[in-house]
Structure 1
Amino acid sequence: MASMARPIRVEFEGAVYHVMARGNERQPIFRDDGDRVLFCETVAEMCRQFGVVVHLYCLIPNHYHMAAETPRGNLSQAIGWLQTAYTIRFNRRHGRVGHLFQGRFKAQLVDADRYAQSLVRYVHLNPVRPQDRNAAIPAERAKQLAEYEWSSHL
Structure 2
Amino acid sequence: MPRKKRIWYPGAVYHIVNRGNRKSELFRDQADNKYFLNIMLKAKNKFNFQLFSYCLMINHYHLEIQTNETEIWKIMRSVNLHYAKYFNNKYDLSGHLFQDRYNSTMIENNYQKLLVSRYIHLNPVRANLVSEAAKYKWSSFGVYLGKRKSELVTTEALLSFFANNSRKKYKDYVESLIKI
In 2: Cα distance, 1:25 partner to 1:100 partner:
9
After TM superposition, what 4+ stretches of structure 1 lie above 4 angstroms from structure 2?
none
Letter in 1 for 2:115: S
2:134 corresponding residue in structure 1: 146
Matched, 1:112 2:102: no
In 2: Cα distance, 1:120 partner to 1:56 partner:
6
Of the three residues 75, 81, 91, the one matched with 2:88 is 91
In 2: Cα distance, 1:23 partner to 1:103 partner:
8
Calculate the TM-score normalised by the size of structure 2.
Answer: 0.74
1:137 corresponding residue in structure 2: none
In 1: Cα distance, 2:73 partner to 2:60 partner:
18
Of the three residues 50, 56, 64, the one matched with 1:67 is 64
SS of equivalent residue, structure 2 residue 37: helix
| Contact 1:14–1:73 under 8 Å retained in 2 | no
Matched, 1:23 2:27: no
Q: Deviations over 1:63-105 (max 9, x none)?
A: 0001111101410011011101100011111111111111110
* Stretches of structure 2 lacking an aligned partner (at least 5 in a row): 143-180
1:102 corresponding residue in structure 2: 99
In 1: Cα distance, 2:122 partner to 2:94 partner:
32
In 1: Cα distance, 2:70 partner to 2:8 partner:
5
Per-residue deviation, 1:6 = 2.9
1:25-44 pair list within 5 angstroms: 25-44=22-41
* Stretches of structure 1 lacking an aligned partner (at least 5 in a row): 132-139
Higher-RCO chain (CA-CA 8 Å, sequence separation at least 6): 1
Report the number of matched residues. 141
SS of equivalent residue, structure 1 residue 92: helix
Matched, 1:76 2:73: yes
> Aligned Cα RMSD in Å?
1.5
Per-residue deviation, 1:111 = 0.7
Letter in 1 for 2:60: H
| Contact 1:56–1:152 under 8 Å retained in 2 | yes
